[in-house]
């Protein structure tokens, strides 16, 4: 685990429930500034719930400390304003608004840009630039995923949580997502990446966590996970 003195985000003993179902059972993790950390595991083990609990979208029980400040008890919008961006699995673009309008909605203050500008987005994803005046609803699923990620970046977060960004994407778009994640990290933004594709996670992550049944069953670097056949077979391989 990253040293708690250097961690930007520290999660300790995180529990969460859906009704009477105890989904998260004491999750511990940390992320340092500019670090890419992947959260791996099979469907249904609690990865998305971990993201939602950090963001306050599911009631968290435990500690979530971001840049020295307790997040538990804050509203999702307050957590976002503190500097945590979130890209949910279901994308949630505004279909009737243009690509440019969707991006501008991500700004914390109108016409106030931080590390990311509209030109950055259009350079990274020429498809979005070409369609900047088109309604977001006519974009392909992959393009909507790019738009959702870039809209979150317009809010200039210090940490971005991205849930399953490559799900259902064509190989070329998967490659573009990987390039965007590298660019995000180069600009000093930390990433918590929930990902199914082990090859992507091993390639871009500095550290990885593996979840099983609501708690962390492995934490280490890509080389350690690649060498640990037991963990991969028990908790990751279908």
CATH number of the domain where residue 158 is located: 3.40.50.300
102 burial type by CB count under 10 A (0-12 exposed, 13-18 middle, 19+ buried): buried
Query: Is residue 1 assigned to a domain?
Result: no
3 burial type by CB count under 10 A (0-12 exposed, 13-18 middle, 19+ buried): exposed
Total count of domains within the chain: 1
Query: Is residue 53 assigned to a domain?
Result: yes
Residue whose C-alpha is closest to residue 159's, from 86, 59, 72: 86
The position carrying tokens 């859906």 is 18
Per residue in 56-113, pLDDT (tens digit) is 999 999 999 999 999 999 999 999 999 999 999 887 899 999 999 999 999 988 878 8
With vertex at residue 23, the alpha carbon angle to CA 17 and CA 25, rounded to the nearest 5 degrees, is 100
Question: What global pTM score does this model have?
Answer: 0.92
Per residue in 119-132, pLDDT (tens digit) is 998 988 888 999 99
Provide the total of helices (H) and of strands (E) in the chain, helices listed first: 10, 10
> Which residues form the domain of 77?
7-236
């Amino acid at each position: 685990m990253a040293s708690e003195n250097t961690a930007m985000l520290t999660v300790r003993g995180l529990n969460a429930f859906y009704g009477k179902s105890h989904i998260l059972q004491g999750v511990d993790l940390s992320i340092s500034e500019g670090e890419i950390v992947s959260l791996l595991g099979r469907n249904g083990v609690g990865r998305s719930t971990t993201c939602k609990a950090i963001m306050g979208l599911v009631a968290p029980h435990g500690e979530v400390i971001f840049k020295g400040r307790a997040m538990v008890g804050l509203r999702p919008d307050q957590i976002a304003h503190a500097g945590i961006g979130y890209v949910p699995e279901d994308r949630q673009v505004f279909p009737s608004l243009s690509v440019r309008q969707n991006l501008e909605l991500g700004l914390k203050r109108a016409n106030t840009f931080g590390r990311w500008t509209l030109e950055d987005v259009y350079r990274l994803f020429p498809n979005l630039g070409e369609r900047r005046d088109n309604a977001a609803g006519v974009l392909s699923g992959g393009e909507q995923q790019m738009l959702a990620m870039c809209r979150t970046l317009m809010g200039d977060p210090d940490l971005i949580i991205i849930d399953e960004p490559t799900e259902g994407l064509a190989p070329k778009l998967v490659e573009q997502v990987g390039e965007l994640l590298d660019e995000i990290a180069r600009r000093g933004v930390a990433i918590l990446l929930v990902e199914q594709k082990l090859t992507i996670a091993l390639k871009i992550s500095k550290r990885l966590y593996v979840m099983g049944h609501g708690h962390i069953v492995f934490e280490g670097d890509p080389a350690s996970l690649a060498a640990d056949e037991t963990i991969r077979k028990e908790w990751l391989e279908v």
